[in-house]
Amino acid sequence: MRILLTGAAGFVGSHLAERLLREGHQVLGVDNFCTGQRQNLEYLTPFAGFSFFEADAERPLEVAGAFDWVMHFASPASPPRYLKMPLETMRVNAEGTRHLLELALARKAAFFLASTSEVYGDPLVHPQPETYWGNVNPIGPRSVYDEAKRYAETLTLAYRRTYGLPVRIIRIFNTYGPRMDPEDGRVVTNFIAQALRGEPLTVYGDGSQTRSFQYVDDLVEGIVRLMAVDYPEPVNLGNPEEYTMLELARLVQELAGTSLPIAHEPLPQDDPKQRRPDIRLARELLGWEPKVPVREGLLRTIAYFKEKGTIGRLP
């Protein structure tokens, strides 16, 4: 297949592109390096089927030829990044999604949207099934991401209903692994970077809030399986194994071989108190569930950052 993939230099996008290339597909990667890393393209350029187009996915893309898939994975995804780029985040998920849906329609391609568990907001239902409508503050600072993704889902399904466009939507729960930007501000990279620098680990609030963490290879496996199934509505992809932030901090300390203190900071506005996916649909529809335990995935991620030496004064 020939696949257009936005966000190809990003953490998830580069892993997905590599998987598709290894399976023999052609991938045209698109990125403007707003949050993507040029070094991630080093994993893709050795493949003959890979080509790259530096462009902003919020604008119409001038690309030639037929495509089997248009896959939209371009967006700032960590709170520090999208809070610094609120308008860009909204545009790439709103205008960018519309332009890419039009491109898919024009080229008779299927469309794949990377959405997020953030559409559930600070959930009042736990764990969160796809049928839950969410509890999102529509005017809070985080809404530039939450509401943009909710709109992107709505738009995607409107194209499905209006034009019969084949679409897929995934809601990605917290994902981690090699190729993450160590400065992106997400909790896993924060903890690993601080542990490897010998700094106190920053926990917001009292640390009782929970998240569920899936290794990137598991996410990519779910994406590939969903491509092969005709199901247009959102599907949760995440690991139901739930950790408090204090539990995660202590696990990273253990795996990094440190015994650093924990520094508490105020909880950010609208920060969800709990987050865990209900993955019954993914199990039934795709035969999918996470395979990589959190402990093993964190060890791989810590080893990657040590090997790459991207976190300053590594021990």
* Cβ-contact 288, 222 below 8 angstroms: yes
Residue 100 phi, psi dihedral angles, 5° rounding: -75, -35
Burial of 22 (0-12, 13-18, 19+ CB in 10 A): exposed
DSSP 8-state assignment for residue 104: H
Q: Return the H-helix or E-strand segment holding 51.
A: strand 50-54
- Sequence letter at residue 58: E
CA 32 to chain centre: 17
* Cβ-contact 220, 297 below 8 angstroms: no
User: Which residue of the set 82, 120, 145, 176 is catalytic?
Assistant: 145
Residue 8 phi, psi dihedral angles, 5° rounding: -65, -20
DSSP 8-state assignment for residue 287: -
CA distance 171 to 169: 7
Q: Is 145 part of the annotated catalytic residue set? A: yes
Question: How much of the chain is helix, strand and coil, in % rounded to 5?
Answer: 40, 20, 40
Tokens 């493949």 sit on residue: 47
Torsion over CA: 304, 308, 310, 311 (sign):
positive
Structure tokens at 227: 């491509």
* Cβ-contact 149, 93 below 8 angstroms: yes
Q: Could you check whether the bond before residue 80 is cis, i.e. omega within 30 degrees of 0?
A: no
Q: Where in the sequence numbering do the catalytic residues fall?
A: 145
